[in-house]
């Protein structure tokens, strides 16, 4: 079998040559969509939306993960690494919990829903264990509903990335949030 696609091929040929990096669970189960596209909340710490986007800098790409409280539409946690490892989702979650506790408004177990897409970072063992440990209900957007959490990253890009273009330094990404 040829492993170097070296020329132009159709979709079937490329699909045969490319290895899959994400394989769904055999049972096909995943957490349900607890928000059902209702991005409102009666008060803080009831629904948080999570997503990440990428930002081009002169030094390369930076991935920016955000946690937004749906009630206030305020960024309460963020992380801007240069890789898409599981920490991309876990660090802003921890930051959000710490920030709410520091402000004197800790989350109450079984009261908060954490909504994200089904990206590997948000269904990872480390992330889901952290949610369970803190009594946070996981919520994953429905299949084929990629726009659910994209509004979080689009809102960030519109408000924090000048002109939606290039940021000069990686460290400037953190200043933007």
**11-66 pLDDT tens trace:** 454 444 444 444 555 655 667 777 676 777 889 999 999 988 888 777 788 888 88
User: Is 30-176 in CATH node 1.25.10.10?
Assistant: no
**Helix/strand/coil (H/E/C) assignment for every residue in the chain:** CCCCCCCCCCHHHHHHHCCCCCCCCCCCCCCCCCCCCCCCCCCCCCEEEEEEEEEEECCEEEEEEEEEECCCCEEEEEECCCCCCCHHHHHHHHHHHHHHHHCCCCCCCCCCEEEECCCCCCCCHHHHHHHHHCCCEEEECCCCCCHHHHHHHHHHHHHHCHHHCCECCHHHHHHHC
User: Who has greater pLDDT, 52 or 133?
Assistant: 133
Taking 60 as the threshold, does the pLDDT of residue 4 lie above it?
no
CA 13 to chain centre: 32
What's the pTM?
0.70
Among the ranges given (25-34, 71-80, 91-100), the one the predictor scored with the smallest mean pLDDT:
25-34
Among 10-19, 82-91, 96-105, name the one with the lowest average pLDDT.
Answer: 10-19
pLDDT reported for residue 5: 45
Out of 15-24, 121-130, 137-146, least confident range: 15-24
Q: What percent of the chain stands above pLDDT 90?
A: 27
Domain ranges of the chain: 30-176
Average pLDDT, the chain: 74
Give CA–CA dist 124/112, Å, rounded.
19
């Amino acid at each position: 079998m040829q492993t170097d696609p070296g020329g132009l091929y159709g979709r079937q040929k490329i699909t045969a040559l490319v290895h899959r990096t994400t394989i769904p669970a055999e049972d096909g189960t995943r957490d349900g969509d607890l928000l059902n596209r209702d991005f409102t909340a009666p008060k803080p710490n009831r629904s948080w939306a999570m997503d990440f986007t990428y930002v081009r800098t002169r030094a390369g790409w930076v991935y920016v993960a955000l946690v937004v409280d749906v009630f206030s539409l305020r960024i309460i946690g963020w992380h801007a690494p240069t890789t898409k490892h599981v920490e991309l989702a876990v660090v802003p979650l921890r930051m959000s919990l710490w920030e709410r506790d520091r402000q004197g408004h800790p989350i109450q177990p079984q009261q908060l829903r954490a909504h994200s897409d089904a990206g590997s970072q948000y269904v990872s063992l480390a992330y889901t264990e952290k949610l369970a440990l803190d009594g946070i209900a996981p919520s994953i957007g429905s299949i084929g509903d990629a726009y659910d959490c994209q509004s979080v990253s689009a809102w960030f890009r519109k408000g924090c990335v000048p002109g939606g273009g290039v940021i000069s330094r990686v460290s400037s990404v953190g200043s933007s949030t």
